[in-house]
C-alpha cells in the first residue's frame, strides 16, 4: 500500500519551460496536500458494429495540471515555496546582494578577516557603502551578526571596526546578505515627508518606490529617540538625499537623529510581471517497495490563493498548468535538498504573527478590526495544443486578475463609504515571525461586491464583508507585490 505520509514532493526551476535541467538539483517542499495529475485522455470510437461490441478507447492527449497546498512560512530564496510565488507573479524575485557558500565550504565566500575587517568572495551584485549586511554560518561566532559596509565592491567588502577573526576557508553554510542600511552617526534624519541624509546616497542601495522599509534597530544607538518613527513605512520616491514615505503613523515627527547610527531594514521583492517561470515537479511515493516517481514538466502557476483568518494558520494553495510528464522507478535526483526547516522557518499564523493590516494608507483598528483577509491571483493561462503533439506545447498567458475579500467589524462607515462611492483604496498586511517578515500589498483596489452589513440574529457581531479587485497602480505598475525581509529588528 501507499501512505500519504510517505509522499515526497520536490521541484526545480526550468531554464527552458518544459525541459528539466540536466542533473537537476531538486528541492523538497513542505506541503499539506496535493492534487497534481498527469493524465492520458481517451475517446470512444463511433463505429457501428453488428455484434454490438466496441473497440478499445483511443488515447488522444495527455494533460498535466493540478494543485499544491501549503501552510505559509518564510519563502527562503530558491526554496520551492519561493519559486512557486515567483511563478505565480510571472516575475522572479529581485534580491538584495548576497553571497552564499550553498553547501560547499570556501566556494563563494573565500575569506573573512585575513585582511582586517574584510570579507572576500566571488563576483556578483555589488555591496555599497551604507549597506547593512547580516553574516550567518561562519565558524567563529564573532564573525556572525550585523555589519555596516564602509567600503563596497563586487569581490570584497570592508566593515571598518568589525574585528573579524580570520577564516581562510569559510564553512559550507557561510552567508553574507544585505538586510538594510545603516547611517553614520547623525547622518540619517526624519523629515516631514520621510528620511533624509547628508552623506549617504539612497539611490545606490537598491531601494525602489513601492518597497516597504522597517526603520529602527535594537538598542537606542540604532533607532530614533522619537519612538513613533521606528516603524514600517512605504517608499514613494528615492533621491540621493531623501526617501519620501507614505503610510506614516500618527505621531510621525521630524528628528535630527543626533548621535544615532540609524538602522533601516528592507528586503527582496517581486510583483506581477510578464515572464513565465516553469518548474519540473516530481512526486515520490516512497512507501512502495520500489518507489514510483511521477514527474510533471512545464508547470506554470495559474493561480495562488491565500487566507489570513483569525485564530488560524495562514493557508495557501497553488494551481498549475503543465506540459509533459511521465512515471518511473528512477528519481530525477537521488539526494534532493531538504525543505526549509520548520524550526528555523515555522508556520505563520493570524493574530500572533500579523503585525498590521493597512487599508487606504492607514492601519485598520478600532472600531473596524479585521477578522479575515483573503486573496486570489489568477493568471488566466491556458495550454497551447498542436495536432502533432500529445501534450501542451506551451502556455498562453492571460490577464493577471487579482481579487479578494476583507471581513471587518462594522464599527463605522469608513470602509463602507468607499464601496458606495466607488472610491479606489489600497490594502497591505505584514506577517512576521523569527525576525523575518513578509509584506503583501495590493496598492490599488476597488471594492466591488458584498458590502451588506446585516443583523442575522440577536447576540451577534455585525460584520462588513467586502469583495475587492486590484487594478494597475501608478507607483509600482502592478496589481500585487510581496516583499520578504530576511531579517529585521523591532
Cα 33 from chain centroid? 20
Instruction: Tell which of 181, 215, 234 closes a domain.
Output: 181
Each residue of 208-248: pLDDT tens digit?
A: 999 999 999 999 999 999 999 999 999 999 999 999 999 99
User: Whole-number mean pLDDT of the chain?
Assistant: 97
- pLDDT tens digit string along 74-101? 999 999 999 999 999 999 999 999 999 9
Same domain, 173 and 189: no
* Structure-block grid coordinates of residue 479: 496589481
Do 177 and 207 fall within a single domain? no
13-60 pLDDT per residue, tens:
999 999 999 999 999 999 999 999 999 999 999 999 999 999 999 999
Of 36, 89, 33, the closest CA to residue 280 belongs to 36
- Same domain assignment for residues 364 and 403: yes
245 with 166, same domain: the answer is no
Q: With residue 227 as reference, give the H or E element that holds it.
A: none
pLDDT at 344: 96
Q: How many C-beta atoms surround the C-beta of residue 321 within 10 A?
A: 21
> For position 459, which CATH number holds?
2.30.110
Instruction: Determine the Cα–Cα distance for residues 34 and 176; give it in Å rounded to an integer.
Output: 35
In a domain, 211, yes or no: yes
Return d(Cα 317, Cα 72) in angstroms, integer: 10
Residue 467 belongs to a domain: yes
Query: d(Cα 64, Cα 67) in Å, to the nearest integer?
Result: 11
What strands lie across the sheet with 109-112, from one edge to the other?
109-112, 118-121, 156-158
Does residue 68 sit within a domain? no
264 confidence band (pLDDT: 50, 70, 90): very high
End position of a domain, from candidates 181, 197, 223: 181
Statement to judge: residues 361 and 454 lie in one domain: yes
Distances (CA, A) of 68 to 301, 335, 358: 10, 22, 29
pLDDT at 262: 98
The pLDDT confidence band at residue 136, using thresholds 50, 70 and 90, is very high
Per-residue pLDDT at 44: 95
| Phi and psi angles of residue 128, each rounded to the nearest 5 degrees, phi first | -125, 160
Question: How confident is the model over 413-440, as a mean pLDDT?
Answer: 96
Question: 128 and 205: one domain?
Answer: no
One domain for residues 155 and 254: no
Q: What is the pLDDT of residues 365-384, one digit of tens each?
A: 999 999 999 999 999 999 99
% pLDDT > 90, the chain: 98
pLDDT (0 to 100) of residue 119: 98
**Residue 330 included in any domain:** no
Instruction: Kindly report the length of the chain.
Output: 490
Q: Do 122 and 144 contact (CB within 8 A), yes or no?
A: no
**Residue 367: cis peptide before it, omega within 30 degrees of 0:** yes
What per-residue confidence (pLDDT) applies to 405? 98
> Residue 2 has what pLDDT?
85
What pLDDT is attached to residue 260?
Answer: 97
Asked if 206 and 173 sit in the same domain, the reply is no
The distance from CA 226 to its chain's CA centroid, rounded to whole angstroms, is 31
Q: Does 1 score more than 80 pLDDT? A: no
Residues 190 and 173 in one domain: no
Helices (H), 23-130: 80-89
130 and 103 co-located in one domain: yes
Specify whether 261 is located in the same domain as 221.
Answer: yes
> Does residue 153 form part of some domain?
yes
Give the count of domains, the chain.
3
Range of the structural domain that residue 410 is part of: 354-485
Which of 146, 181, 216 corresponds to the end of one domain? Answer: 181
Q: What is the pLDDT, as a whole number, of residue 353?
A: 97
Query: Are 167 and 214 found together in one domain?
Result: no
- Cα 172-174-175 angle, rounded to 5 deg: 135
Cβ neighbour number for residue 303 with a 10 Å cutoff: 18
Query: What are the pLDDT digits (tens) for 435-485?
Result: 999 999 999 999 999 989 999 899 999 999 999 999 999 999 999 999 999
Within a domain: residue 279? no
How far apart (Å, rounded) are the C-alpha atoms in residues 433 and 247? 22
Q: Is 91 domain-assigned?
A: no
Q: What digits encode the pLDDT tens for the residues 51-64?
A: 999 999 999 999 99
pLDDT tens across 321-380, in order? 999 999 999 999 999 999 999 999 999 999 999 989 999 999 999 999 999 999 999 999
316-320 mean pLDDT: 98
Q: Is residue 17 part of a domain?
A: no
Amino acid at each position: 500500500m501507499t501512505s500519504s505520509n510517505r509522499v515526497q514532493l520536490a521541484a526545480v526551476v526550468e531554464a527552458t519551460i518544459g525541459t528539466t535541467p540536466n542533473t537537476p538539483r531538486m528541492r523538497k517542499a513542505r506541503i499539506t496536500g496535493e492534487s497534481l495529475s498527469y493524465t492520458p485522455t481517451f475517446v470512444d470510437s463511433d463505429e457501428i458494429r453488428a455484434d454490438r461490441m466496441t473497440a478499445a478507447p483511443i488515447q488522444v492527449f495527455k494533460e498535466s495540471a493540478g494543485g499544491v497546498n501549503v501552510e505559509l512560512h518564510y519563502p527562503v530564496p530558491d526554496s520551492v515555496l519561493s519559486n512557486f510565488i515567483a511563478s505565480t507573479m510571472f516575475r522572479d524575485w529581485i534580491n538584495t546582494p548576497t553571497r552564499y557558500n550553498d553547501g560547499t565550504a570556501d566556494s563563494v565566500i573565500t575569506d573573512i578577516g585575513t585582511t582586517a575587517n574584510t570579507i572576500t568572495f566571488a563576483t556578483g551584485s555589488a555591496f555599497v557603502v551604507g549597506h547593512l549586511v547580516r553574516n550567518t554560518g561562519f565558524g567563529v561566532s564573532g564573525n556572525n551578526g550585523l555589519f555596516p559596509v564602509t567600503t563596497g565592491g563586487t569581490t570584497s567588502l570592508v566593515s571598518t571596526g568589525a574585528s573579524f577573526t580570520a577564516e581562510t576557508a569559510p564553512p559550507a553554510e557561510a552567508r553574507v546578505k544585505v538586510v538594510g542600511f545603516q547611517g553614520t552617526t547623525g547622518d540619517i534624519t526624519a523629515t516631514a515627508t520621510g528620511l533624509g541624509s547628508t552623506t549617504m546616497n539612497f539611490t545606490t542601495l537598491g531601494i525602489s518606490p513601492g518597497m516597504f522599509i522597517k526603520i529602527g534597530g535594537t538598542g537606542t544607538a540604532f533607532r530614533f529617540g522619537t519612538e513613533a518613527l521606528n516603524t514600517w513605512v512605504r517608499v514613494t520616491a528615492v533621491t540621493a538625499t531623501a526617501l519620501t514615505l507614505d503610510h506614516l503613523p500618527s505621531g510621525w515627527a521630524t528628528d535630527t537623529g543626533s548621535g544615532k547610527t540609524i538602522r533601516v531594514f528592507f528586503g527582496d521583492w517581486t510583483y506581477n510581471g510578464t515572464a513565465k517561470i516553469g518548474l519540473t515537479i516530481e512526486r515520490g511515493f516512497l512507501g512502495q517497495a520500489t518507489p514510483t516517481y511521477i514527474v510533471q514538466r512545464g508547470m506554470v502557476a495559474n493561480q495562488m490563493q491565500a487566507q489570513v483568518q483569525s485564530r488560524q494558520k495562514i493557508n495557501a494553495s497553488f494551481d498549475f498548468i503543465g506540459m509533459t510528464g511521465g512515471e518511473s522507478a528512477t528519481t530525477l535526483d537521488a539526494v534532493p535538498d531538504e525543505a526549509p526547516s520548520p524550526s528555523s522557518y515555522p508556520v505563520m499564523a493570524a493574530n500572533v504573527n500579523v503585525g498590521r493590516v493597512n487599508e487606504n494608507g492607514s492601519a485598520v483598528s478600532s472600531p473596524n478590526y479585521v477578522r479575515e483577509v483573503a486573496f486570489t491571483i489568477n493568471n488566466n493561462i491556458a495550454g497551447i495544443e498542436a495536432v502533432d503533439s500529445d501534450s501542451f506545447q506551451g502556455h498562453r498567458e492571460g490577464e493577471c486578475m487579482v481579487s479578494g475579500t476583507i471581513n471587518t467589524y462594522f464599527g463605522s462607515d469608513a470602509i463602507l463609504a468607499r464601496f458606495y462611492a466607488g472610491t479606489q483604496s489600497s490594502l497591505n498586511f505584514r506577517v512576521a515571525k523569527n525576525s523575518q517578515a513578509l509584506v503583501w500589498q495590493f496598492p490599488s483596489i476597488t471594492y466591488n461586491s458584498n458590502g451588506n452589513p446585516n443583523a442575522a440574529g440577536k447576540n451577534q457581531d455585525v460584520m462588513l464583508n467586502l469583495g475587492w479587485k486590484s487594478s494597475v497602480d501608478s507607483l509600482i505598475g502592478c496589481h500585487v507585490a510581496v516583499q520578504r525581509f530576511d531579517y529585521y529588528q523591532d
